[in-house]
Amino acid sequence: MNTSRALLLAAAAMLAMPAIADNEMQVRITPTLSSIDVKHQGKTVRIQRNQDQDNVLNPAFQRTSRRCPPFCVQPMHMPEGVETIGELEMLDYLRRAAGGDSSILIIDSRGPDWLQRGTIPGSVNIHYKRLSVKAAGDGEVAAILHERFDAERDGELWDFRFAKTLVLFCNGSWCGQSPSNIRVLLRLGYPPSKIKWYRGGMQAWEAAGLTTVVPEE
């Protein structure tokens, strides 16, 4: 059985697992938090840890070594005060966004091949090349800033006073896609206080046994 097929079957099996009441869960997120509900592509998805205590890491993230470049280890902190966050902070942003806080946008920066291995429920996909002026051009980047991030054009400059707080992630500490997007946004003037980086990305999310979804076509 190929890896893609195995991953899809594993995801389907997890979705088919019977619902467990929060007070019956043996594998909680924290002692006081068992799960959160988010919206993903219009459907409610419950994020929790896998309850199978013999569960192992997703095969897609078991490899420890990939060619560098491009898969080079990233620093712990991005420049200019961008906050690096972990799983609990990511869950809090997901909870706030699901609760109606439209000022938050969680972004998966990866391409379609990786997306089919699973993503964080409640995130949206904006391929990292779409935020590259070199790859996508000024027009597409400007459209994303305005239409997706709520930035306003002020002559030749951008007004980010009412822009969204962006929470970006990709595959993990060896993935440079979301860091590339963060550097582009900073060069465009996006406030560092409105950019958060989940450095652990999908590898850390999977290692914690947290729920993933495969986006619908």
The rounded mean pLDDT for the chain is 89
Q: Could you tell me which CATH class the domain 3-53+68-207 is placed in? A: alpha beta
User: So what's the pLDDT on residue 169?
Assistant: 98
Segment 132-187, tens digit of pLDDT: 888 888 899 999 999 999 999 988 889 999 999 999 999 999 999 999 999 999 99
Report which of residues 155 and 123 the model is more confident about. Answer: 123
User: So what's the pLDDT on residue 217?
Assistant: 64
Residue 208 near residue 49 (C-beta atoms within 8 A):
yes
User: So what's the pLDDT on residue 19?
Assistant: 60
Segment 90-110, tens digit of pLDDT: 999 999 999 999 999 999 999
Q: Is the pLDDT of residue 2 over 90?
A: no
Q: Where are the domains of the chain?
A: 3-53+68-207
User: So what's the pLDDT on residue 206?
Assistant: 96
Buried-exposed string 184-215: b where 16+ CB fall within 10 A, e elsewhere = bbbebebeeebbbbbbbbbbbbbeebbbbbee
Bond from prior residue into 70 cis (ω within 30 degrees of 0): yes
Lowest mean pLDDT among 18-32, 48-62, 164-178: 18-32
As to burial, measured by CB atoms within 10 angstroms (0-12 exposed, 13-18 middle, 19+ buried), residue 51 is middle
The confidence band for 60, taking pLDDT boundaries of 50, 70 and 90, is: confident
Buried-exposed string 63-94: b where 16+ CB fall within 10 A, e elsewhere = eeeeeeeeeeebeeebeeebeebebeebbebb
d(CA 214, CA 186): 30
Segment 175-210, tens digit of pLDDT: 999 999 999 999 999 999 999 999 999 999 999 999
Q: Is the pLDDT of residue 33 over 90?
A: yes
Report which of residues 100 and 217 the model is more confident about. Answer: 100
Return the structure tokens found at 210. 């947290």
Q: How far is CA 79 from CA 21, 45, 197, in A?
A: 42, 34, 11
User: So what's the pLDDT on residue 4?
Assistant: 45
Cα angle 185, 38, 57; round to 5:
80
User: So what's the pLDDT on residue 13?
Assistant: 41
Cβ neighbours for 101, distance < 8 A, ≥ 6 positions apart? none
Residue 216 near residue 188 (C-beta atoms within 8 A):
no
Segment 67-76, tens digit of pLDDT: 999 999 999 9
Q: What is the DSSP letter of 176?
A: -
Q: Is the pLDDT of residue 57 over 70?
A: yes
